[in-house]
Amino acid sequence: MPQPLASLRWPACLLLLTFAAVPLHAAEPLASWNDTAAKAAIIKFVETVTDEDSAGYVPPEDRIATFDNDGTLWTEHPMYTQLAFALDRVRTLAPQHPEWKTQQPFKAVLENDLKTLAASGKKGLLELIVATHTGITTEQFEAIVTDWFKTARHPRFKRPYTECTYLPMVELLEYLRANGFKTFIVSGGGIEFMRPMTMEVYGIPPEQVVGTTIETKFEMQDGKPVLMRLPEIDFIDDKAGKPVGINKFIGKRPIAAFGNSAGDRQMLQWTAAGTGPSLKMLVFHDDAEREYAYGPANGLPNSPFGTFPQDLMVEAKQSDWVVISMKNDWKTIFAPEKD
């Protein structure tokens, strides 16, 4: 007989008793955050919703926290990681596609002509995505993505993209989970591009990843069922699509939401409109030295990746959303390199 509930939990229970003997400073939460208003806002919020005697108490099952990914949990410059992946895939697949030598936007990718590539706009981007992300099974795509994460390196930081994650945000994920929160990613990125790495990198399992999806089709190949990835977008999880995605995939309103760009505005509005306390935060990239600086808010340079317009800054101030200054609020940006 499999073990019944009570006996199953014995070893875990004993483990926790051992754990409790570890000095508390070993688990100092939010250690990479400076002692500024941003950190204080997080702690005050968590104190409130976990305190059963507080009017703002929220039972654990309703402690839903949603995180944008690009620019909120990991670096999105000099380009979205998924775009870097798509460009690498074009280079890898080029020998099988001699026509790409003369066909845009592929020609631009192969010639490293980013200006022409950018000029191809959304249409060009979609062509790249179709060529590199579809026409294969979900299992094949997962294997390709997993392999790519192992070998690809960020051009500036010379580290795997999966190490270009913000340590303070990873600590925040852990801190929220330690306080009974269920943490979700709600990203404009491809859901199946993220899922192969989110558990290892963020402690977030595949079923808690919401993102942009493409159509898939169930079919039999040599008597084996597969899901083929079709060249058609199913759902874009960005801007006004984020509350839609949250409602569809999660079915509960978050009480905490974290973003960094105009794509996250509606997610924060949706979170703010709940009853009871909620925490809304935006990461502002104002640290060119340790990471990147872009806006165009506050006079920083504009960026095609992760635009933070001035009116978002205004809305944040008016709405009591907390803007995180990477420069001032974070002691460290990235975790130390692994050996």
Instruction: Determine, following the binding rule CB under 8 A, whether residue 314 of this chain makes contact with its own copies.
Output: no
Is residue 2 within the footprint of its own copies (CB under 8 A)? yes
The correct pick among 208, 260, 278, 303 for binding its own copies (CB under 8 A) is: 208
Report the alpha-carbon distance of residue 211 to residue 229 in Å, rounded: 15
Residues 34 to 93: which contact its own copies by CB under 8 A? 43, 46-47, 50, 61, 64
Is residue 133 near its own copies by the rule CB under 8 A? no
Closest contact distance (angstroms) between CB of 287 and its own copies is 28
| Interface with its own copies, residue 335, by CB under 8 A | no
Q: What are phi and psi of 60, to 5 degrees?
A: -50, -40
Are 308 and 130 within 8 A, CB to CB?
no
Q: Sign of torsion, CA 208 213 217 223?
A: negative
Nearest-approach distance from CB 325 to its own copies, in angstroms: 23
For its own copies, which residue of 34, 138, 325, 332 counts as binding (CB under 8 A)? 138
Q: Which of 1, 53, 55, 336 binds its own copies (CB under 8 A)?
A: 1
Q: What's the one-letter identity of residue 159? A: R
Whole-number minimum distance, CB 4 to its own copies, in Å? Answer: 5
**Residue among 49 and 322 whose Cβ is closer to its own copies:** 49
Among 34, 116, 213, 325, binds its own copies (CB under 8 A): 213
Q: Does 10 bind its own copies (CB under 8 A)?
A: yes
Contact flag: residue 168 with its own copies (CB under 8 A)? no
Q: By C-beta, is 154 or 253 nearer to its own copies?
A: 253
Cβ burial of 145 (10 Å; 0-12, 13-18, 19+) is: buried
Q: Give the nearest distance from C-beta 195 to its own copies in angstroms.
A: 5
- Judged by CB under 8 A, the residue of 4, 11, 95, 98 near its own copies is 4
Q: How far is the CB of 273 from its own copies (least distance, A)?
A: 5
Q: Contact with its own copies (CB under 8 A): which of 16, 31, 93, 288? A: 16
Which range binds its own copies by CB under 8 A, 72-80, 235-243, 299-307, 316-324?
A: 235-243
Kindly tell me which of 6 and 55 has the beta carbon lying closer to its own copies. Answer: 6
Q: Which residues contact its own copies by CB under 8 A?
A: 1-10, 13, 16-17, 19-20, 22, 24, 27, 29, 43, 46-47, 50, 61, 64, 138, 178-180, 182, 184, 191-192, 195, 199, 205-209, 213, 216-219, 224-225, 227, 234-235, 240-241, 243-244, 247-252, 266, 269-270, 273
